Chain A
Amino acid sequence: MILIIPAIIAGYAQQDGWIAALFGIPIGLLILWLILHLSSFYPKLNLVQINDRILGKWLGALLSCAYLLFFLLAGSTFIREVGDFLTTQLFQSTPIRYIHLLFVLILMWGVWNGIESIARSAEILLPLFIFICIALIVCLIPQMDLERLKPYFGSEGLSFAHATMMFSVYPFGELCSFLMIFPYASKPAHRNKDVLISALCASLLLFLLVFISLTVLGAYFTEHNIYSTYVLTQKINIGAFLQRIEALIATAWVISTFFKTVLYFYAFSIGTAQLLRLSTFKPLIVPTSFLMFGLAMMVAPNLCIMSKRLFPTGSTGISPMALYFRHCSFPSII
């Protein structure tokens, strides 16, 4: 997410991407509030059970299947993103399957140990992640050129709206995987507030990345560099000694993507277990990892098609897969 969102937003709104991001934050928070509100009706049930309760056995199962498919496909896509990124930028002659394998093994290990271990390791790695992101932003301040943002509101209305929608639906809609873990988390009174505040902080970070990318690289290269945040770190050069620190952002991104993927992995396996009325989800972990490993190779033939199919820009139209992704991320079941 932190690596590719500037490219997606700039693809629609060009130099207005940062405004679109600002507009997207409140809408996104509204979506998240919907998700939280939904779970507060049924504090003891997860998404699959809620579907079952509201829509009945068959219809509920159908919708649950759609969501589970989304978790599976999105999880595989994240794995592929990691693999593509690492083989493009850092390990050029390493087979991509090998990186996928390593990633899937760690995912498997994480899910096997359960949600608590995942959360605790996130607590350990979060400060590192935040430190890297702040370092990136601070180091790039000298290179910012606000002139690049002009003319304000110069993009077309429709594509601007599209960018706003992308910024609200894509990062926030993905949080629907939280519905699968809420019933298993402890429930302090201010949980909803905490979740909203942390989502706000995270989206502000994304906004900052879009903003910095546009002011340092300009709209054109933000749009056309697949990994614009990575290219940003290559531009860092302070006093000719603080430079070439791009491996840091790669680390930060792999950390954040790992936790996202592990949530989806967990959501898929536990949801499937519930759908099939299994008593435990542990037997599903190994098959799920096989599935994700295979699907990661199959989601798209190459990087270019992946970014075009998942995030079609303007003229390429909306392909079925993107539609599917967007609709699934949207909690349409209130």
Chain B
Amino acid sequence: MKRTGISLLAAALILLLITGCWDRQEMNELGIVLAMAIDKGKNNMLEVSCQIVVPSEVASNSGKSTTTPVTLYQASAPTILEAINKMTLTSPRNSYMSHIRVLIFSEAVARMGIADELETFLRHPEIRPDYYVMIARHSRASDILNVLTPLETIPANNLFLSLQNSAKTWAPTITTVTDDLLEKMISDGVEPVLTGVQIVGDKQNGGNKDNLTTIKPVANLTYTGMAVLKKDRLLGWMNEQESKGYNYITNNIKSTTGNLPCPDHKGKLSIKVLRSQTDVTSKIVDGNPVIHIKVNNMSSIMGDACTVPISSQDDLRIIEKEGSEKIEMFMKESVKTVQKRFKSDIFGFGLNISRNNPKQWAQLRDHWDEEFPRLKVEYEVHVQLRGVGMLDDSILQDIKE
């Protein structure tokens, strides 16, 4: 009896110890940050903007709403974390950063370097490294967070999902998370790229609820081009074709759609890329490094506006050859631009040499910046057409006759 009493007492005392009240975080006291934008402020300060979700607005059964689903808090301070805590001057809730989806830097900040900001994000125990990093083009970073989006009511989710899907189905985009980004900044022989995001339409009124009352929003967000960085500094932008070439070289193509001319060069074929695999190898020829890029591409014809039949083997071979040349052209353009304009090894050719020819890399490493612009690159592309969709020869032949 006495023993039971002591045990019960001990159990009750332990209950007091394991409440964990020091770190309690009540849901209704947290401002959940979904997106963050970093701009250059006055006096060398950083202007940090947080897109915070308004819980009552995203609850499913709240009826017709009167306010926006998210709100924006801003603060300026020398460091990011200071600015975030400073936001409590205006925000009634503490910022909670575990669910951050996108991090946007303005071009001005990116040109000065973003490593120290990213370091904060990686060191902070509350933040998981699974959000996308991007750079705002043609506007301040905070303006990007000031646009309401249809379909996905929370703009940060809209940005995240849109990038995720387009990286899967559209060649020129890429997703970048912080640890990959920092790894590329740190590693020798490879430099990072980031995707750009911009507002199309009316920048001023995108944050107005009226933006969602028209079928075509007055302002919308779109991804555009790829930013080339050197270490942590922005150098410039690649256009869509060059970005496509970059993704082919770095084996980032999951699937995409393109077009090819018909065998007789009248009209166009739409081609859907089903699979694409790139193998980059490096070798040393006469003491100089040579990069060999081999692309194996499997595609399918999805639209045929040709007046000549495609059902013969020979015609298919011709189209396949056209396709190979086009992919090679993308990659060549991309390499040429980067070697000439940026001189930053975003393709990771140096990393490839260091992994496969470590001895030669030891000699190249210190003057890789001079070596990279004159690096020789060889291409080998095999396009294979698998399917032709649901029709045989184009029905256009019969319409046009």
Query: A: which residues have CB within 8 A of B?
Result: 88-95, 98, 101-102, 105, 147, 150-151, 154, 217-218, 220-221, 231, 234-235, 237, 243-244
Contacts A92-B125, A234-B130 given; does A220 touch B183 at CB 8 Å: yes
Partner of A234, one of B23, B128, B356: B128
- Residue of chain B at shortest CB distance from A234: B128
B179 at the interface (CB under 8 A from A): yes
Q: Are B125 and A237 in contact (CB under 8 A)?
A: no
Contacts A102-B18, A154-B358, A221-B179 given; does A92 touch B23 at CB 8 Å: yes
- Separation in Å of the A4 CB from the closest CB of chain B? 16
List, in ascending order, chain B residues with CB within 8 A of A234's CB: 128-130
Report Cα–Cα, A244/B100, bound state, in Å: 13
B186 at the interface (CB under 8 A from A): yes
**Best-surrounded residue of A101, A105, A151, A243 (most CB of chain B within 10 A):** A151
Partner of A89, one of B17, B20, B125, B354: B125
- Residue of chain B at shortest CB distance from A154: B358
Q: Are B128 and A244 in contact (CB under 8 A)?
A: yes
Partner of B356, one of A94, A101, A151, A218: A151
B355 at the interface (CB under 8 A from A): yes
- Residue of chain B at shortest CB distance from A227: B125
- Residue of chain A at shortest CB distance from B354: A151
Report Cα–Cα, A44/B17, bound state, in Å: 41
Ordered by A's residue number, 24 sampled pairs between the chains whose C-beta atoms are within 8 Å are: A88-B125, A90-B23, A92-B125, A92-B126, A93-B23, A94-B23, A101-B17, A102-B17, A102-B18, A105-B14, A147-B355, A151-B354, A217-B179, A218-B183, A220-B183, A220-B186, A221-B179, A221-B182, A221-B183, A234-B128, A234-B129, A235-B130, A237-B130, A244-B128
- Separation in Å of the B357 CB from the closest CB of chain A? 8
List, in ascending order, chain B residues with CB within 8 A of A89's CB: 125
Q: Are B355 and A235 in contact (CB under 8 A)?
A: no
Report Cα–Cα, A94/B358, bound state, in Å: 48
Chain A proximity mask over B164-188: 1 for CB below 8 Å, otherwise 0: 0000000000000001001100110
- Separation in Å of the B310 CB from the closest CB of chain A? 37
Contacts between chains A and B (CB distance < 8 A), count:
48
Q: Are A151 and B358 in contact (CB under 8 A)?
A: yes
Report Cα–Cα, A244/B98, bound state, in Å: 10
Report Cα–Cα, A94/B128, bound state, in Å: 21
Interface size, chain B (Cβ < 8 Å): 20
Report Cα–Cα, A98/B183, bound state, in Å: 36
- Residue of chain B at shortest CB distance from A91: B23
- Residue of chain A at shortest CB distance from B22: A94
Chain A proximity mask over B106-147: 1 for CB below 8 Å, otherwise 0: 000000000000000000011011100000000000000000
- Separation in Å of the B287 CB from the closest CB of chain A? 19
Report Cα–Cα, A88/B128, bound state, in Å: 14
Q: Are B17 and A151 in contact (CB under 8 A)?
A: no
4 more contacts with CB within 8 A, not counting A94-B23, A150-B355, A218-B187, are A91-B22, A94-B20, A151-B356, A235-B179
Q: Are B129 and A220 in contact (CB under 8 A)?
A: no
Contacts A217-B179, A218-B183, A221-B179 given; does A91 touch B355 at CB 8 Å: no
List, in ascending order, chain B residues with CB within 8 A of A151's CB: 354-356, 358
- Residue of chain B at shortest CB distance from A153: B358
Report Cα–Cα, A102/B19, bound state, in Å: 12
> Which residues 327-362 in B have Cβ within 8 Å of A in the complex?
354-356, 358
- Separation in Å of the B21 CB from the closest CB of chain A? 9
Q: Are A93 and B22 in contact (CB under 8 A)?
A: yes
List, in ascending order, chain A residues with CB within 8 A of B130's CB: 234-235, 237, 243
List, in ascending order, chain B residues with CB within 8 A of A235's CB: 129-130, 179
- Separation in Å of the A249 CB from the closest CB of chain B? 14
- Separation in Å of the A149 CB from the closest CB of chain B? 9
- Separation in Å of the B219 CB from the closest CB of chain A? 28
- Residue of chain A at shortest CB distance from B21: A94
List, in ascending order, chain B residues with CB within 8 A of A147's CB: 355
- Separation in Å of the A134 CB from the closest CB of chain B? 22
Contacts A92-B125, A93-B23, A235-B130 given; does A220 touch B358 at CB 8 Å: no
- Separation in Å of the A117 CB from the closest CB of chain B? 15
Report Cα–Cα, A243/B130, bound state, in Å: 10
List, in ascending order, chain B residues with CB within 8 A of A98's CB: 22
Contacts A221-B183, A234-B128 given; does A150 touch B23 at CB 8 Å: no
- Separation in Å of the A243 CB from the closest CB of chain B? 8
- Separation in Å of the B260 CB from the closest CB of chain A? 32
List, in ascending order, chain B residues with CB within 8 A of A94's CB: 20, 22-23
Q: Are B22 and A220 in contact (CB under 8 A)?
A: no
List, in ascending order, chain B residues with CB within 8 A of A95's CB: 22
Report Cα–Cα, A93/B24, bound state, in Å: 9
Report Cα–Cα, A221/B179, bound state, in Å: 8
Chain A proximity mask over B1-19: 1 for CB below 8 Å, otherwise 0: 0000000000000100110
- Residue of chain A at shortest CB distance from B358: A151
Q: Are A150 and B18 in contact (CB under 8 A)?
A: no
Report Cα–Cα, A224/B129, bound state, in Å: 15
- Separation in Å of the B123 CB from the closest CB of chain A? 10
List, in ascending order, chain A residues with CB within 8 A of B182's CB: 221
| Nearest 9 Cβ contacts at the A-B interface | A150-B355, A94-B22, A151-B358, A91-B23, A234-B128, A93-B22, A89-B125, A154-B358, A93-B23
> Which residues 18-35 in B have Cβ within 8 Å of A in the complex?
18, 20, 22-23
Report Cα–Cα, A141/B248, bound state, in Å: 24
